[in-house]
Chains A and B, each alone.
Chain A
Amino acid sequence: MNCRECVEHLYEFLDREATPELERDIRQHLEECPPCGEQFDFEAIYLKFLRARCRTQGAPEELKRRVLRELFGE
């Protein structure tokens, strides 16, 4: 596996969606190639940042009450 192929599959790898063979090839490449390793670390930080920023918001209380009222007449 070369750097370009490795980087093409970086999100599959970080999302744990890679096949076992692909995962093995990527791990092997990362061990041999520190620059790709750094890039993967950076992308992992980015995904963690996205999750942290986007998952906090929930439905407003008023909407919850409205849904219950419509469904069950409460």
Chain B
Amino acid sequence: MATPNQVDEKRESFEREALVHLDALYRVALRLTNNAADADDLVQETMLKAYRAWDQYEKGTNAKGWLLTILRHAFINEYRRRTRHPENVDLDTIEPFAVFGEIQDDDPQGAFFDKIVDDEVLREIDKLPEAFRETLVLSDVEGMSYQEIAKILEIPVGTVKSRLFRARKVLQARLYGYAVSQGYIKGTPA
């Protein structure tokens, strides 16, 4: 039985190292579930699991990575099963469209990006195949290193590199297509 003092210490270290990542966990959960209510539940469950397992976490190491690993397992085991199924997408058949080749004469600095708002970017991210989406979110939204992403997703660093490359290119092509459709830039939609 833990003494009151130990309980206080546990709580204090959990608040300092884990609860500070609540925003990050929520952002990732939202992109994985595509649904605010499920994201709430997933984050809640992640925090409960993390608190129970807090003794197993080596303090002062990478709490964000540790928490995201718990979150992803909870998502795969519980949410994905009942909410959305992983798409059967052959990632190798997704051919990136070369946006720079299209815009280099008229808009080499990508000024059209400025006109695309947050919601539209997030909507396009949500349409990416799950394997691309989770890699891109951990990198571009959460700023994790390739090594950290590889650990969380349990894939080799080389796979992180190739997925991230293609995820960014596909997203870029779709955002470009959106910009063309909205008349933000002249061109041929991807």
Among the listed A38, A59, A63, A71, which residue makes an inter-chain contact with B51, where contact means beta carbons less than 8 Å apart?
A71
Contacting residue for A46 out of B23, B30, B47, B110, CB 8 A: B110
Beta-carbon contact of A71 and B48 below 8 Å: yes
Task: Give the interface SS of chain B, mostly helix, strand, loop or mixed.
Answer: helix
Number of A residues, CB within 8 Å of B: 33
Do A53 and B116 form a contact, CB below 8 Å, given A58-B26, A63-B43? yes
Q: How far is the CB of A7 from chain B (nearest CB, A)?
A: 9
Binding site for A on B (CB under 8 A): 11, 14, 19, 22-23, 25-27, 30, 36, 40, 43-44, 47-48, 51, 100, 103-104, 108-110, 113-114, 116-118, 121-122, 125, 137, 139-141, 143, 145-146, 161, 164-165, 168, 171-172
- Besides A43-B100, A63-B40, 20 other CB < 8 A contacts? A17-B145, A41-B109, A42-B110, A45-B110, A47-B168, A50-B168, A54-B118, A54-B121, A54-B140, A55-B27, A57-B30, A57-B118, A59-B43, A63-B22, A63-B26, A63-B43, A67-B44, A67-B47, A71-B11, A71-B14
